[in-house]
Every structure is written in structure tokens, then in C-alpha cells.
Amino acid sequence: MPTPDPNLDQAVRFLESIRGRRSVREFSDRPVSQAVIEHLIAAAGSAPSGANKQPWRFVAVQDPEIKREIREAAEKEERKLYEGRANPEWLEDLAPLGTNAEKSFLETAPWLVIVFKQVRNPEAEQGSEQVYYVNESVGIAVGMFLAAAQFAGLATLTHTPSPMKFLAGILGRPEHERAFMVIPVGHPGHDSSVPDIRRKPLEAIMRVDRDRSPNADEPARPLPSSMPTTIGG
């Protein structure tokens, strides 16, 4: 009988939940309560951050008029991206995802959570206004938000209209806050589908200790693992 491993049991359960996460680009207008969004943001706000500066701000938007403004401005930027700003390689990489400049999800999703990073922190409870490892910190917080939403049975998209400067203007954010990500949150639309893409297998993304040669491209040793190698859809 193998020794019970409660950590493994929990890791397996978390993996089962998180591997079901996919970026959704067609949302239904089914409502999600503000209480749910508050819990997701609180989960994100529990993330680690450089020197505990918590250099993030989450603006939860549900007002249809503001969502419409965001959609219009995002589509304007995205049209420029698809019609010339993106180089051919970028467009080629996007092709399997079937994305284009049309962003109706910015109006149909019940909530848009706009994540801002803070390039200084005038509200720090102690210490200086300086912030550290901002992109790393905010990226981790976004990851925790996405995981919390998945755990709550909600769909998300990590949307990065490029450039994103218009968001600070529409939402009246101060100069030290820069838009980092737009996350529509809600339920998938009835006939919503996701592109058929693959995850790298565990062997391709994990090494245990050292590779045999300094050339890390040599075939990996099989992992001493009982885990199925598929990571997600």
C-alpha cells in the first residue's frame, strides 16, 4: 500500500481544476454578483509581491456605458494591430486562435476586471514609494485571480489590447497606474468554443536537478513520476 500523501491528493485536485481553464472569447450576459468578484480580487490581493509593496489595482467594471467605451477604444487599437502594427510572424502565431479586432466580449461579459500596475506606491503603509519586481508581482496576482475564477466555476480571458493607455483615461486612474491586463469574467456563451491547442508535456517543461550535459536540448530523462504527461487541453 502506498503511503498516503495528503499534499499529493490536494495537488492532484488543484491540477484537475486548473487544467480545465481555457481562455473564453464568447461570454453570456448571465450575471455574476459583486461579492464573487470581490472574493476573486481578494484572492489576487493575497499574492506575494516585491518587498510587499502590492503594486496593483483592480478596477471592476460592470457599467454597460463604460464597457462600451472600453470596447470601442480597444477595437480601434486592435484594428491598427491587425491591419499593420503586428508583424507577419505575430499574425501567423495568432491565426490558430481565430482572434480578430472584434471584441464583443468586452460588452457581453458581466464584469471586466482591469488590472493596473503601480510604478510607484504613494499609498504604501510603510517605507518608501519605491516598488520592486512590479511585472513579476502583478503577473503572479493575475495568475491567482485566474485560478480563483476557475475554482469558482467562472470563465476568464487575459486580454491585452495593444497599446492599453486608453484604459487609464476612461477609468480616471492616476499617473502612477499603468494598465496591465483586461480580464473579462463571466460564464461562457451557449455556443462558445475554444481553439484546439496543445500544452507542452511535463517532460518538456520540467527538469529534476541537472541535465547531463550543459546542452539542455538533449532528450530529457524520463521523470520519476506517476503523473499523466498531459497538462491540459
CA distance 178 to 198: 32
Nearest by Cα to 148 from 118, 113, 178: 113
The binder of ligand FMN chosen from 100, 160, 225, 229 (CB under 6 A) = 160
The binder of ligand FMN chosen from 22, 57, 67, 187 (CB under 6 A) = 22
Question: In the bound complex, what is the minimum distance in angstroms from residue 96's beta carbon to ligand FMN?
Answer: 8
Instruction: List the beta bridge partners of residue 104.
Output: none
Nearest by Cα to 152 from 50, 233, 37: 37
Q: How is residue 191 annotated by DSSP? A: T
Q: Find the part of the chain contacting ligand FMN (CB under 6 A) among 3-11, 157-165, 184-192, 218-226.
A: 157-165
Q: Which of residues 75-104 bind ligand FMN (CB under 6 A)?
A: 97, 99
- Residue 159 binds ligand FMN (CB under 6 A): yes
Q: Find the part of the chain contacting ligand FMN (CB under 6 A) among 122-130, 155-163, 202-210, 221-229.
A: 155-163
Q: How many residues in the shown chain lie near ligand FMN by CB under 6 A?
A: 11
Grid coordinates of 167? 484604459
The binder of ligand FMN chosen from 194, 202, 220, 231 (CB under 6 A) = 194
CA distance 111 to 70: 12
CA distance 154 to 78: 25
**Radius of gyration in angstroms for the set of CA atoms belonging to the chain, rounded to a whole number:** 20
- Residue 25 binds ligand FMN (CB under 6 A): yes
Grid coordinates of 198? 496543445
| Nearer to ligand FMN among residue 23 and residue 62 (C-beta) | 23
- Residue 227 binds ligand FMN (CB under 6 A): no
Name the residue number minimizing CB distance to ligand FMN: 23
The length of the chain in residues reads 233
For binding to ligand FMN (CB under 6 A), which residues are involved? 22-23, 25, 97, 99, 157-160, 194, 197
